[in-house]
Homo-oligomer: A and B are copies of this chain.
Amino acid sequence: MPVPERKSSRVGFSRRRLLGGAAGLGAVGVGAGIGWGAAEAVTANGSDGSAGQQIEPFYGPHQAGIATAAQAHAQFVGLDLVEGSDSAALTGILKVWTEDAARLTGGRAALADTEPELAHIPSRLTVTVGVGAGVFGPAAPAQRRPTWLRPLPAFSIDRINESVWGQTDLLLQVCGDDPTTVAHAVRVLTKNVRSRVRIAWVQRGFHHARGSTPKGTTMRNLMGQVDGTVNPRSDLDFDSLVWDDGGQQPWLAGGTALVLRRIAMQLDTWEELDRHARELTVGRTIPNGAPLTGTDEHDTPDFEATRMGIPVIPPSSHIARAHQRSAREQFLRRAYNYDDPPGPGETSNSGLIFAAYQQDVDAQFLPVQQRLADHDALNEWTVPIGSAVYAILPGIAEGDFLGSTLVS
């Protein structure tokens, strides 16, 4: 998913290796001619391991993991505070997570990290923390709850398994290009607070591996569709659509709202459709995701275009129904594929971990979702089975802790 990228920095990067590597490559390219030797050097894709040393900055006005170019792997962890947790308990958790996340995302072992070697390959690790409505009252001032921070209304299409994939008090979103690093980070972050929380669920997702598609390629979901084409891209877009401006809740300025939905794909029936029927269902071509009225993925769909009097993009198609009716009906989508072991008698257990970031769920996500729930040709093959809403905490400066403006 092409979103504006933060500039990646690099630690532990040897200037000697840098000089040696680049100079050596130049020599091959120029002195030895362009052959497979040079191609191997160019395309060996980090056989020197340098991709593992790329770092996403932890400190800043916003938490990383949102405007960050989507990493290859994600774990979303939903946690509940144990009974009787108060503001001090929540503060303690947030301070531990801040300390751990600042170190781990920088490629340093957490304090008391029992497997420090697993922390040394950050691979663009990000840790993003959010809170659900449940913390307001018991553990944070009730009046600080944003009005949109509440369960979504029940949509007719929903088959939410609330006891499995429902709302939680806290969310940890851990993303990175290396699955081992992500696993280690989740282990550290959860075990260090294990007496204070209960893990309700863990959702594991993935994109194409780093390096296996050209940079900036929009992901494909497991239905084979290009997924996530329309997204805010500029800093201006992020400021006007994604980052909270503190207007309603001053403590949240720089944070954002996350709607996290788990959407199961009915691949067995989906695959009975031919390609033309699929393209009419979505409103985009399968090969490159172009709208049916265009040739390029990022062409603007023309919902007025007709052929023999029939709309080229069916009004019931997913993009026609999802398309914004106002400037406000936009949000950042940063979804991940999931593919878990199938249940008895099933072939697949696949779908999308749909993550939508925005300023105001009521104004941005809800009208679109209501329209899709009312009618979307795609609904026949997609089933929402999980749903939760979180306030993603603002970013912080060094020395501060995540959520300080919420709990203090």
Chain B positions within 8 Å of A51 at CB level = 43, 45, 209, 211-212
- Verify B46–A211 contact, CB threshold 8 A: yes
Bitwise interface map of A from 28 to 41 toward B, beta carbon under 8 Å scored 1, else 0: 11100010001101
Chain B positions within 8 Å of A342 at CB level = 199, 202
Residue in chain B with minimal CB distance to A48: B214
Decide if A310 is an interface residue (CB 8 Å cutoff): no
- Verify B118–A220 contact, CB threshold 8 A: yes
- Verify A212–B22 contact, CB threshold 8 A: no
Stretch of A176-184, A250-258, A317-325, A359-367 contacting B (4+ beta carbons < 8 Å): A176-184
The docked-state distance in angstroms from the alpha carbon of A99 to that of B73 is 30
Residue in chain B with minimal CB distance to A224: B115
Partner of A211, one of B10, B45, B206: B45
Decide if A194 is an interface residue (CB 8 Å cutoff): yes
Decide if A339 is an interface residue (CB 8 Å cutoff): yes
- Verify B121–A179 contact, CB threshold 8 A: no
Chain B positions within 8 Å of A224 at CB level = 114-118
Known pairs A34-B18, A39-B22, A47-B215; A178 contacts B118 (CB<8 A): no
Decide if A246 is an interface residue (CB 8 Å cutoff): no
The docked-state distance in angstroms from the alpha carbon of A210 to that of B210 is 8
Q: Which of A1-56 contact B (CB under 8 A)?
A: 10, 18-19, 21-23, 25-30, 34, 38-39, 41-52
Chain B positions within 8 Å of A341 at CB level = 201-202, 204
- Verify A208–B45 contact, CB threshold 8 A: no
* Chain B min CB distance to A94 (Å): 19
Chain B positions within 8 Å of A215 at CB level = 44, 47-49
A interface, over-half SS: mixed
Chain B positions within 8 Å of A212 at CB level = 46, 49, 51-52, 121, 123, 177-178, 181, 210
- Verify A29–B25 contact, CB threshold 8 A: yes
Partner of A347, one of B27, B190, B208: B190
Known pairs A42-B21, A204-B341, A208-B178; A187 contacts B222 (CB<8 A): yes
Chain B positions within 8 Å of A202 at CB level = 341-342
* Chain B min CB distance to A249 (Å): 32
Decide if A207 is an interface residue (CB 8 Å cutoff): yes
- Verify B18–A23 contact, CB threshold 8 A: no
Bitwise interface map of A from 182 to 197 toward B, beta carbon under 8 Å scored 1, else 0: 0110110011001000
List 30 A–B pairs whose Cβ atoms lie within 8 Å, in order of A's numbering: A10-B43, A18-B34, A19-B34, A21-B42, A22-B29, A25-B29, A26-B28, A26-B29, A43-B46, A43-B51, A45-B45, A46-B46, A47-B211, A49-B211, A49-B213, A49-B215, A72-B179, A73-B179, A115-B224, A115-B271, A117-B287, A179-B179, A179-B209, A180-B206, A183-B337, A183-B339, A190-B347, A191-B267, A191-B268, A202-B342
Other A-B contacts than A184-B222, A210-B212, 15 sampled, CB-CB below 8 A, are A22-B38, A22-B39, A23-B29, A44-B215, A52-B209, A52-B211, A115-B222, A178-B208, A178-B209, A180-B337, A181-B208, A190-B348, A191-B347, A191-B348, A209-B210
